[in-house]
Structure formats: structure tokens, C-alpha cells
């Protein structure tokens, strides 16, 4: 089955260029030229989204945050913004990669293929693990506590997966950042601290158990 891409950009020339490139590469391509149109097109159940940030009716950050309530596929931002603060906001909104315009088409194609390969490897897993009153379904990328679904962003689940699969092992913030965002990430280890704060708040709303333990001066470990 051909993998489905959703391309969102308010510049029609960019959309058509990307559509042509990726259709020639064997993908099924859906397009949108506004944030609102992107949300309507999300029903195509894309395997990956290429999303511009600077759009007039609804910016890409808002679109990404809304999409994350319904889909878990990789979201790659395409943008002319280059400030570190903007990149951090993008990752916190739920993006998986951040590609600055102008970009090389072949490099973009390679990044898309790499994200899709990683996603396919994750979907091939069918593993459940039980911790206190929590169940983690790694194949569905779902966490439940006492049968209550805990809504996690993509990166939040990636952190939970890393720590829980290696329960008891201590990871410092830099190592977590490298494992979850990759060596080419444009944020900082402070992003990890903010994500863990959000994860803990979500867990605390459903359980008294402290699943992520701080090892002071070292990092974090999973306490199952």
C-alpha cells in the first residue's frame, strides 16, 4: 500500500512542487493550502504531514497541536523561521522535525523516508508492559492508568517509551534529547525537562504512583 502524505502550505507553487516530487517518488499525496483545509484533509489518515508554519488563517503551530489530538503520525514543519525559540515552540507543539526553507528536495525526501521507516518499525512492535496501575501498549503508542487513557504527545510517549523499556536505568537530559529528538535536533535539553513536567502532571491526575523518578544531579529513571 502506498504511503500517504499530507502537504500543507499557503504557497500553491510550493505545494505543487512537493506534490510532483513525492508522487514521482511513489507516494499518495493530499494537499491543503490553509490550516483549516489541513484539518479537513486529516481524514485521509496520512502517514506523514509536511506542514508550513506561516499561514494566514491558522498557523502551523495551531494546526499541529490540533492534529495531535487525533493522529500520531510524524509531522515535519517546513518554515522560513530560524530562531531557536521558534524551533522549540514547534517541537513542543508536537512536531517531529523542523526543515528550514529553502531546502534541498532530495534531503527532504530522505528525511521523509527516514521518518516513515522509523514509524513502520514502531508499528511492527506488539508489546504490552504493566507497571503498578499503568499499562503501556507500545504498538498502539497508548498509555492507560486504571483503564483511563492518558493523552500524550508524540514526543511525550517517546520519552515514556525510552524510560520504561529501560526501567531502572538513569538517563540524563542530554541523552534523552539525543535518543528522542536525534543528534540533529534544534532544541536543547531544557525541552526534555518541560516534556517530563507535562508527563508527570498527566500521570498525577490519574495515579498517586510516581513513575518518573528524578535522580538529583544525574537525570531521570523509570520507577515501575
> Looking at residue 9, which CATH number applies to its domain?
3.40.50.2300
Please identify every stretch of the chain with a pLDDT value under 70, giving residue numbers as ranges: 1, 81-82, 122-126, 183-187
Q: Is the Cβ–Cβ distance between 67 and 75 less than 8 Å?
A: yes
Determine the pLDDT at residue 189.
Answer: 77
151 and 108 in a common domain: no
Cα separation, 133 vs 145, in Å, equals 6
What's the chain look like in SS3?
CCCEEEEECCCHHHHHHHHHHHHHCCCEEEEECCHHHHHHHHHHCCCEEEEECCCCCCCHHHHHHHHCCCCCCCEEEEECCCCHHHHHHHHHCCCCEEEECCCCHHHHHHHHHHHHHHHHHHHHCCCEEEECCEEEECCCCEEEECCEECCCCHHHHHHHHHHHHCCCCCECHHHHHHHHHCCCCCCCHHHHHHHHHHHHHHHHCCCCCCCEEEECCCEEEECC
For a pLDDT cut of 90, what percent of the chain falls above it? 54
190 and 145 in a common domain: yes
209 and 195 in a common domain: yes
Determine the pLDDT at residue 99.
Answer: 87
CATH number assigned to the domain comprising residue 176: 1.10.10.10
Q: Whole-model pTM?
A: 0.57
Determine the pLDDT at residue 169.
Answer: 94
Choose the final residue of a domain: 123, 140, 158.
123
Query: Which one, of 60, 43, 132, lies nearest residue 95 by Cα?
Result: 60
200 and 166 in a common domain: yes
Choose the final residue of a domain: 77, 107, 123.
123
Q: 50 is in which domain, residue-wise?
A: 4-123
Determine the pLDDT at residue 125.
Answer: 54
Q: Is the Cβ–Cβ distance between 160 and 136 less than 8 Å?
A: yes
Query: Which one, of 6, 166, 167, lies nearest residue 78 by Cα?
Result: 6
Cα separation, 54 vs 191, in Å, equals 23
136 and 105 in a common domain: no
Query: Which one, of 123, 121, 115, lies nearest residue 27 by Cα?
Result: 115
Q: Is the Cβ–Cβ distance between 33 and 15 less than 8 Å?
A: yes
- Name 144's Cβ contacts closer than 8 Å, sequence gap at least 6: 134, 135, 137, 150
Determine the pLDDT at residue 14.
Answer: 92
Overall domain count for the chain: 2
102 and 161 in a common domain: no
Determine the pLDDT at residue 2.
Answer: 86
Determine the pLDDT at residue 91.
Answer: 84
59 and 24 in a common domain: yes
Quick: pLDDT tens for 60-113.
889 998 888 777 889 999 888 667 777 788 888 888 888 888 889 999 999 999
Cα separation, 114 vs 93, in Å, equals 21
118 and 49 in a common domain: yes
Amino acid at each position: 500500500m502506498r504511503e500517504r502524505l499530507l502537504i500543507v502550505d499557503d504557497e500553491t507553487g510550493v505545494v505543487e512542487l512537493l506534490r510532483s516530487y513525492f508522487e514521482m517518488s511513489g507516494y499518495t499525496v493530499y494537499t491543503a493550502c490553509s490550516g483549516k483545509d489541513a484539518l479537513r484533509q486529516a481524514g485521509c489518515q496520512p502517514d506523514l504531514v509536511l506542514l508550513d508554519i506561516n499561514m494566514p488563517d491558522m498557523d502551523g503551530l495551531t494546526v499541529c497541536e490540533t492534529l495531535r489530538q487525533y493522529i500520531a503520525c510524524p509531522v515535519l514543519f517546513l518554515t522560513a523561521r530560524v530562531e531557536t525559540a521558534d524551533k522549540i515552540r514547534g517541537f513542543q507543539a508536537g512536531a517531529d522535525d523542523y526543515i528550514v526553507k529553502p531546502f534541498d528536495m532530495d534531503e527532504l525526501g530522505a528525511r521523509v523516508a527516514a521518518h516513515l521507516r522509523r514509524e513502520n518499525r514502531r508499528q511492527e512492535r506488539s508489546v504490552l508492559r504493566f507497571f503498578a496501575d499503568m499499562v503501556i501498549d507500545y504498538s498502539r503508542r497508548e498509555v492507560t492508568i486504571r483503564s483511563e487513557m492518558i493523552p500524550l504527545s508524540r514526543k511525550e510517549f517517546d520519552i515514556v517509551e525510552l524510560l520504561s523499556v529501560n526501567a531502572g536505568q538513569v538517563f540524563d537530559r542530554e541523552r534523552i534529547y539525543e535518543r528522542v529528538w536525534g543528534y540533529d535536533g534544534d532544541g536543547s535539553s531544557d525541552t526534555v525537562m518541560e516534556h517530563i513536567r507535562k508527563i508527570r502532571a498527566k500521570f498525577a491526575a490519574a495515579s498517586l504512583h510516581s513513575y518518573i523518578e528524578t535522580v538529583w544531579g544525574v537525570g531521570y529513571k523509570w520507577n515501575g
